[in-house]
Structure 1
């Protein structure tokens, strides 16, 4: 059986958006591979994306599109209604796992790349991962940061040990 999705359907979250657990580099920081990290509470984009989008709107300018890795999310709505507008959301197997790319209309770079820390991650490890991702001049890709999360000791020199860093 083939499932047909209405690509014009707009999905809107019910209730107030949650405050995102988010850490970003300071504006004007030297370019790194990532702009920061985000630790959602679930893998449901309808529940998680509105709070993040509103925070990024405030800090970086209006978000107009988001790219995600398909298998990181339980649902895949392609148009998200929020604050009187529609944000396009695309899911690709080819987009790196654990990476969210947000495109804005006002940012000088126009793109924000965040490592997406899995919801089940402990506070200490999530905090360390977001700190590394938001560090000025960070040269680790999202998957490298996430790979360190899965090591029992956090990996040598990773800053992901039980002390948080």
Structure 2
């Protein structure tokens, strides 16, 4: 019989959705939280984000983004919960991403913190955008004013 040593440590995930959402409450402000992707590759970054958001949105149907802010992305993405339609628009704010779920057609609009942002600043932006009382517009959030 082979004994496997027991440890109290957990392996850190190879990829983590760097995300902060406002607490469940009536919607206020321009965004529902913030996301700090590790890259500008939606096909790589979105599956991790959508797994986390599926808890609130149930099955996710669509993700909208600004066409000029991201390199070309596939029109559909297969994730754990099924197929998700990706739709790029020139009219959407360059620093936001909207995730639309089936739970009452609920949507979450997220401030996208640029991947190259310095970690301390990114953390501040995530926390500020996710603050319950945050009503700042996108530009104000990103400048940290």
Q: TM range, normalised to the smaller chain? A: 0.7 to 0.9
Gaps of 5+ in 2: 1-12
Match of 2:22 in 1: 25
Please point out which of 117, 123, 135 is paired with 2:131.
Answer: 135
CA deviation after TM superposition for structure 1 residue 109, in Å: 6.5
Moved over 6 A (4+): none
Paired residues of 1:37 and 1:134 also in contact (CA < 8 A): yes
Q: Which structure ranks higher in relative contact order (CA pairs < 8 Å, sequence separation ≥ 6)?
A: 2
Which has more radius of gyration?
A: 2
What is the CA-CA distance between 1:29 and the residue it aligns to? 5.0
Q: Contact conserved, 1:100 with 1:116, CA < 8 A, in 2?
A: yes
Contact 1:56–1:62 (Cα < 8 Å) also in 2: no
* 1:67-78 → structure 2 map (5 Å cutoff): 67-78=64-75
Which digits, 9 at most, give the CA deviation of each residue in 1:36-55, with x for residues without a partner? 00000000001100000110
- Residue aligning to 2:116: 120
Q: Partners of 1:141 and 1:81 in 2: how far apart?
A: 32
CA distance in structure 1 between the partners assigned to 2:76 and 2:57 by the alignment: 21
Q: 2:37, 2:115 within 8 Å by CA — same for their partners in 1?
A: yes
Aligned to 2:52: 55
Give me the TM-score of the superposition, normalised by structure 2: 0.83
What is the CA RMSD across the aligned residues, in angstroms? 1.9
Task: Specify whether residues 125 and 109 from structure 1 end up closer, same or farther in structure 2 by C-alpha distance, changes over 3 A only.
Answer: farther
Alignment CA distance shift 1:61-1:84 (3 Å): closer
What is the TM-score when the length of structure 1 is the normalising length? Answer: 0.74
Aligned length: 133
